[in-house]
Amino acid sequence: MNSEFYKNVVNSSAYRSSRDENAQLILTNSQLFPHLFAIAFNTGDKNHHKACWILELVLEKQPHLLSDYLDDFCENLSKFSNESALRPISKICMFLSQHISLTPLQEEQITEKCFDWLIQEKCKVATKAYSIRTLYELGKKQDWIYPELKRILTDDYRKHTAAYKAVAREILKKIK
C-alpha cells in the first residue's frame, strides 16, 4: 500500500475539488490505481467510501482501468453496505454496463446486486437510480430483466421520491 496516497484518500472530502484532485493523481499515474482499488474494496476501512468516490471519477473517464479487476469488483459487490460507498459503486456498475464487455458471470453478479439495491428499503434514491439504468443496459442482452424491472418499478413507483419517479418513468418508456 502506498502510504502517501492512502493519506491523500483519508484526508479527502466530499467536495468535488478534493475528489477531482485525487482522481487526477490516478489519471496521471495509473500505477496508483491498484492502491485505490484496494482501499475502496477494504470495507473494513472506515475511509473506504472516500476511495469509492475517487474510483467513480477515475472510472468515469477511464473505465478500462478496471479491466484487470473486473472479477474482483463483481465478486465483492455484496460487501458494500455504507450508502456513501454504494452510490459510487452503483454508478460504476452503470459505467461498466455501458462501456465494458462483461462476461456472462460478471453480468449476472452485477444484475443480481442491482436488483438487490433496487428492492432494499435502506438504499437511497441515487443508488436505486443507477441500478435502474444499469439493469436497463443489461436488459438489452438478457430478455428476462425487463419484465422483472418493469414489475418492480410499477409496484414501487408510488412510494418513492420525485427523482426516483423520473428515472422510473424514463426507463419504463424505453422498455415498453
Q: How far is CA 101 from the centre of its chain?
A: 16
Query: Can you give the pLDDT at residue 146?
Result: 98
The number of C-alpha atoms within 13 Å of 152 and in the hemisphere containing its C-beta is 22
Question: In this structure, what are the phi and psi dihedrals at residue 122, rounded to the nearest 5 degrees?
Answer: -70, -20
Tens of pLDDT, residue by residue over 44-72, are 999 999 999 999 999 999 999 999 999 99
Query: Can you give the pLDDT at residue 176?
Result: 80
Whether the Cβ atoms of residue 149 and residue 108 lie closer than 8 Å to each other = no
Query: Can you give the pLDDT at residue 45?
Result: 95
Residues of the chain short of pLDDT 70, as ranges, are: 1-2
Set of cell numbers at residue 162: 420525485
CA 52 to CA 93: how far, in whole Å? 12
Query: Can you give the pLDDT at residue 1?
Result: 61
